Each structure stands twice: as structure tokens, then as C-alpha cells.
Amino acid sequence: MKKAILLLAVAITSMSFINWHYNLDEAKTTAKKEHKHILLNFSGSDWCGPCIRLHKEILGSDAFQKFATGNLVLVNADFPRMKKNQLSKEQQKINDALADQYNSKGNFPLTLLLNENGKIVKQWEGLPSSTPEEFTEEVQFAIDQDK
């Protein structure tokens, strides 16, 4: 019985989180199929304070998640530093290639709105000073301008 309650709690909690991809090629395929834009975020999940705040305060907000579910394919290119959080060699190679293509200056956090073909539509360097609702409106405006 305890296991069933725990599984139900986990299922309900996980429903409030959106699905992040970790491979841009897969995200492009999904974006083309679903006619969506891609939000690519470069983060340092265990060392970059603004990255952690961005995910917690904006990208993890109800307002953004509701918007993203119907409008975006999300990709996270994470660059953790702690040994316990290290990525697989394959994932690190994928993230390094993304950084070479989209983040050659090594800015963290860096958030890019891409069209379904991977062309940059808009970018945000650092932690946006906007509320989750304002950030969502900025993303929507950029999508509308790209049509």
C-alpha cells in the first residue's frame, strides 16, 4: 500500500514538470513534427547560481511550463562541475558540440530560442530580470515575429 501511495505521489508530482530533451537533433525532429520552436538552455546546474535560479524561478514556474507544453521543445545543455554530477561521455560530447555551435563564448546561463531548423530567433544572456509571465510573453512575441 505504501508503495502504491508513493508511486501515485511521484506520478502526480512528475506531471507538473515539462519534458527536457538533451539532444538537439531529436528536439529538431520533434519541433518539425509538432510545428514548435526550440528553447535551448546552457546551464551549469551545480555551480552557476544564475543558472539554478533561472531553472527554479522562471523555467520551472507554472506560467512558463504551461506555455512551453504547447509551444516549445526544450533542450538543456548542462555543464556540471562536481564529480558526482558528471555526464556520460556521450552526453558531454553532445553538449560540447552544442556549445561549439551556439555558445562559443561560454556564457552561463545562455538561453536561445531556435526555429525548428536550429536557427537562432532570440537569445537571453544571463538571468532575465523579468517575471516568469514576462519572460513567457517575450518568448511568445519572438515566436510571433518569426512566423
Assigned domain for 76 exists: yes
Residue 10 domain-assigned? Answer: no
pLDDT, residue 16, reads 47
pLDDT given at position 17: 64
Q: How does residue 91 score in pLDDT terms, banded at 50, 70 and 90?
A: very high
Q: Is 122 inside any structural domain? A: yes
Q: Is 7 inside any structural domain?
A: no
Asked if pLDDT for residue 15 goes beyond 90, the answer is no
Q: How many domains does the chain have?
A: 1
CA distances from residue 131 to 18, 45, 77, 98, 134 in whole angstroms, order as listed: 19, 21, 23, 27, 5
Look at residue 86 and tell me if it is in a domain: yes
Residue 133's pLDDT band, with cuts at 50, 70 and 90, is very high
Rounded to an integer, the average pLDDT of 118-144 is 98
How many alpha carbons fall within 13 Å on the CB side of residue 124? Answer: 23
Residue 80 domain flag:
yes
Q: Which CATH number characterizes residue 28's domain?
A: 3.40.30.10
pLDDT of 36-86, one tens digit each? 999 999 999 999 999 999 999 999 999 999 999 999 999 999 999 999 999
Answer whether residue 68 is part of any domain.
Answer: yes
Q: Is residue 2 part of a domain?
A: no
pLDDT of residue 28: 98
Mean per-residue pLDDT over the chain, rounded: 91
In angstroms, the Cα distances linking 78 to 35, 51, 87, 131, 140 are 25, 10, 9, 23, 24
What range does the domain containing 128 cover?
Answer: 17-146
**Which of 32, 39, 59, 42 minimizes the C-alpha distance to 114?**
39
pTM over 0.95: no
